[in-house]
Structure 1
Amino acid sequence: MFQYIRKVIRKIRRRYVRNLQRRNLPKAAPSVAEAILPLDSDTYTIAPSHLKAMIDQDKPFVLLDVREKWEYEMVHIEGAILIPFGELPRRFREVTPGGEIVVYCHWGMRGLDAAFLLQQLGFKSVRSLVGGIDRWAQEIDTDILRY
């Protein structure tokens, strides 16, 4: 029995290594913010300071939180609406089309994925908050909970 288990584990490990080699994945960025910034930042991202300016100037836009419900209940940016990323493909119609949309998550990756998804669904002006709510908590609202 033990030999059979070892054999299965070796087989799984070989497949895993082969799959990793086939993918030829690029090296990871040192931080989420750096993973996002090499893109055309004006098109896809927004810095926390720019989002703060939009809020202060009462500019009309939709602030979309794509984290999970428990994350939203723990802490969120005031005025945000919650549509978890996993539910976005079927709930995107809840977002008002035509206006500017700012998407955020915890660190920025789900937000960027959501921004790309919304653009593919026909939304024109969609940007992701660089660094997510974590960077917002570091730079803008230091009183909110970081997790």
Structure 2
Amino acid sequence: MSDIRQIKPDELEKLIEKDAEIRVIDVREEEEVAQGMIPTAQHIPLGTIPETLQNLDPANEYVMVCRSGKRSMNASEYLMAHGFKNVHNLEGGMLKWNGELVF
């Protein structure tokens, strides 16, 4: 069992609405992101996480997102293994997201 904290889609939506200092990272592929992303999300495909890690601040709070929550869990675990302390996984991924989308 992973130590990564799960965040429910409605909880994340409320944090975004409050302009919380939380960074959303969408690890899906380009064609998936074209179907819509969570507002404020930054697109970093899963395969590029290792090479873009130096662009992320370990002091920030992150929510990792993918289609169903599996790839984003892998990304979350990778960040935690590299010294990031405040990382969450979006429970159920975009399949469970009912909030606004940006294209």
TM normalised by structure 2 equals: 0.88
Q: Which residue of structure 2 lines up, in the alignment, with residue 93 of structure 1?
A: 54
Once residues 6 and 75 of structure 2 are traced to their aligned partners in structure 1, the CA distance between those partners, rounded to angstroms, is 12
CA distance in 1, matches of 2:55, 2:36: 22
Structure with the larger RCO, 1 or 2 (CA within 8 Å, 6+ apart): 2
Distance apart, 1:94 and its partner CA: 2.0
Q: Deviations over 1:81-104 (max 9, x none)?
A: 111111111111222320110000
Name the SS for the 1:74 alignment partner: coil
Q: Is the 8 A contact 1:106 1:134 kept in 2?
A: yes
1:103 equivalenced with 2:64 (yes/no): yes
2:47 & 2:2 partners in 1: Cα distance?
24
Q: Distance in 1 between matches of 2:54 and 2:22?
A: 15
Q: Distance in 1 between matches of 2:55 and 2:29?
A: 17
Matched ranges for 1:74-89 at <5 A: 74-89=35-50
Gaps of 5+ in 2: none
Q: Structure 1 residue 72 and structure 2 residue 39: aligned?
A: no
Larger radius of gyration: 1
| 8 Å CA contact retained: 1:62, 1:96 | no
Considering only aligned residues, what root-mean-square deviation do their CA atoms show, in Å? Answer: 1.7
- Distance in 1 of aligned mates of 2:28 and 2:54: 18
Whole-angstrom distance in 2 between the partners of 1:113 and 1:67: 12
Matched, 1:132 2:93: yes
Gaps of 5+ in 1: 1-37
Q: Which has the higher helix share?
A: 1
Distance, in Å, in 1 between the alignment partners of 2:76 and 2:20 is 19
2:87 counterpart letter in structure 1? V
1:54 aligns with 2:15: yes
Sequence identity percentage: 33
**Larger strand share, 1 or 2:** 2
